Structure 1
């Protein structure tokens, strides 16, 4: 049976294994593949609602008591003019504070006692600040520390609340306007990250086993072709299924939860994003393992087709030989009888 180059599934499995292993180890230490996060929280503007005075519905209006209207005449006109001037000054102050909001956002997280970003990776949570600053175009991340997330839990809310409590302002998440719905959305993100991490660990195992089985096939196929092909098809197929599940979880589940968290967290300056680079790695690994699985499946089908043809050919050959032998024997017997009878009559 003509074989395609066995190096195809070996190469595909090797690259897929490296990709999922790197994805698993990303963020295991500060600045190691930091940009390849599963989910990232941008907290550089968290608490911006504390600076927004222009739209405060509870702010009393100086004319709300109707004092100027009660005065009437010249005094009423003068009062109205003075009140309008005060309103204008307050409005200018509010606009000025809001205009500089982006500038002080670079220092807001520090003033609150928290970092500017928190990134969730498969096995860890990293935290740090943006460089050169949070509002600079194409700002990069500088992770200062990474802690275990898979074993200790991906509890971003606890990290933020702790930082706020020990910070100089001694605030809590509730003080910033965290709602139960926002907390629920963040809890969903934590669960999605945990589920993805589990699937990724399993994916690393199956892609690694598929690579080992592909290498073993170099030696085993001439002696144990059927069992070798079945083993490779099974392992490569399992790797494909787990990787596809991983891709769906990170692409669909995470993005739904991220959109919900952004919708609820926008008012207080919290933004969340799903790691597109991490998603890309996952789907590239899916494609590579699909190629490896397709190779082994095609070879198994060729082997089974060849076995059936060989088996049927052997049976046909045996039947033809039997019929040929039976005919030859009958001819010989008839010939022998003819000779024997001729001799008898001659005698």
Structure 2
């Protein structure tokens, strides 16, 4: 079987290192890879439960109105029915207007409460800002205004929200907005998961970098010390792959569970969570690349145990036995001497 070039693990580990490093650094400063968040909280409608536009302001037609029109004569009954229909049409217009006002009020709730319209959680930071052109516009963009340390200080978004509310114009708290203990418990769990995810990702990035370095050094070490070089590269690539897989699973599953739980518990108060997809793509492509690196070195190690050696300067295989090669080299000149003696 033709030997694969040693450039494969070098290129794959380099690409994996760059991708997972970007996944770690995304959101490290305002506007840098903002779309590659782990999970984001939309707080533009937080406190919408304090605004009730669906009460007595929108009365509905009753059976008594219909009975009243039925009890009148034919001509007057038709007039009554027409008048009732006109009133219903007017009520529908009023209801639509009130709902539109409600949407605009909800779109400005975050500003009025003194909080940001969104909070995005990244591997190292929590970023906040406003939506452009507005929170209810389809496909609204994020305008990041500030990023806070997350890994060292925690990813507890409720602390940021509560602080902003208490220094805001209304001096309210999360409890006033209906922020229950169940929602807080979900955010606390997410905080723990993200810390573990980031720690595993950092270790995985370090091991990926070491695997890249070892792959480059293999170019010079394999001709001299092939067995320990293959073994070291296989171990490093396997360890990097394991940590990247663990961090990927923890981040993906944890963010998905947090999204479901927060949306279930926070729907009534206007709190919405959405799991990011960009960092998932970066992380799992990095996992796939490191799987290639690990598979390459494991294959080469198994080949070595079967008596097949690597070469880094050509695609030809080394002889299986160096002593046999030396014997063959000495045999040719010996035969030439015998031939010349025979002619004499």
User: TM-score, normalization: structure 1?
Assistant: 0.76
Secondary structure, counterpart of 2:144 in structure 1: strand
Residue number in structure 2 paired with 1:79: none
Residue number in structure 2 paired with 1:25: 25
Residue number in structure 2 paired with 1:271: 272
Secondary structure, counterpart of 1:4 in structure 2: coil
> How many Å apart are 1:52 and its aligned residue?
2.2
- 2:144 and 2:51 mapped to 1: Cα distance? 27
> How many Å apart are 1:193 and its aligned residue?
1.1
Deviation readout 1:238-279 (Å, 9 max, x if unpaired): 111111111111222221122011100010000111111111
- 1:264 and 1:285 mapped to 2: Cα distance? 34
| Structure ranking higher in helix proportion | 1
> How many Å apart are 1:116 and its aligned residue?
0.5
Residue number in structure 2 paired with 1:38: 38
- 2:91 and 2:137 mapped to 1: Cα distance? 30
Stretch moving more, 131-140 or 207-216:
131-140
Give the 3 Å change call, closer, same or farther, for CA 53–214 of structure 1 in structure 2: same
Give the 3 Å change call, closer, same or farther, for CA 15–120 of structure 1 in structure 2: same
Instruction: Flag structure 1 segments of 5+ consecutive residues without an equivalent.
Output: 62-87, 318-347
The root-mean-square deviation of aligned C-alpha atoms, in Å, is: 2.6
Q: Between Structure 1 and Structure 2, how many residues are aligned? A: 285
Stretch moving more, 260-269 or 1-10:
1-10
- 2:230 and 2:102 mapped to 1: Cα distance? 64
Secondary structure, counterpart of 1:170 in structure 2: coil
- 2:55 and 2:177 mapped to 1: Cα distance? 16
> How many Å apart are 1:92 and its aligned residue?
8.9
User: TM-score, normalization: structure 2?
Assistant: 0.77
Check whether the contact 1:41–1:271 (CA below 8 A) recurs between aligned residues. Answer: yes
- 2:43 and 2:144 mapped to 1: Cα distance? 14
Structure 1 segment 142-161 matched on structure 2, within 5 A: 142-161=143-162
Residue number in structure 1 paired with 2:52: 52
> How many Å apart are 1:38 and its aligned residue?
1.1
Deviation readout 1:274-319 (Å, 9 max, x if unpaired): 11111111110110000111111111110110169958x98xx9xx
- 2:17 and 2:223 mapped to 1: Cα distance? 26
- 1:200 and 1:94 mapped to 2: Cα distance? 52
> How many Å apart are 1:160 and its aligned residue?
0.2
Give the 3 Å change call, closer, same or farther, for CA 152–113 of structure 1 in structure 2: same
Give the 3 Å change call, closer, same or farther, for CA 2–95 of structure 1 in structure 2: closer
Residue number in structure 1 paired with 2:5: 5
> How many Å apart are 1:99 and its aligned residue?
3.7
- 2:180 and 2:91 mapped to 1: Cα distance? 30
Structure 1 segment 250-329 matched on structure 2, within 5 A: 250-306=251-307
- 2:21 and 2:113 mapped to 1: Cα distance? 36
Residue number in structure 1 paired with 2:243: 242
- 1:25 and 1:127 mapped to 2: Cα distance? 16
Structure with bigger gyration radius = 1
> How many Å apart are 1:188 and its aligned residue?
1.2
Instruction: Flag structure 2 segments of 5+ consecutive residues without an equivalent.
Output: 60-87, 310-318, 328-344
Structure 1 residue ranges, 4+ long, deviating more than 3 angstroms after superposition: 88-99, 307-311
Check whether the contact 1:258–1:272 (CA below 8 A) recurs between aligned residues. Answer: yes
- 2:300 and 2:271 mapped to 1: Cα distance? 53
Residue number in structure 2 paired with 1:113: 114
Check whether the contact 1:165–1:172 (CA below 8 A) recurs between aligned residues. Answer: yes
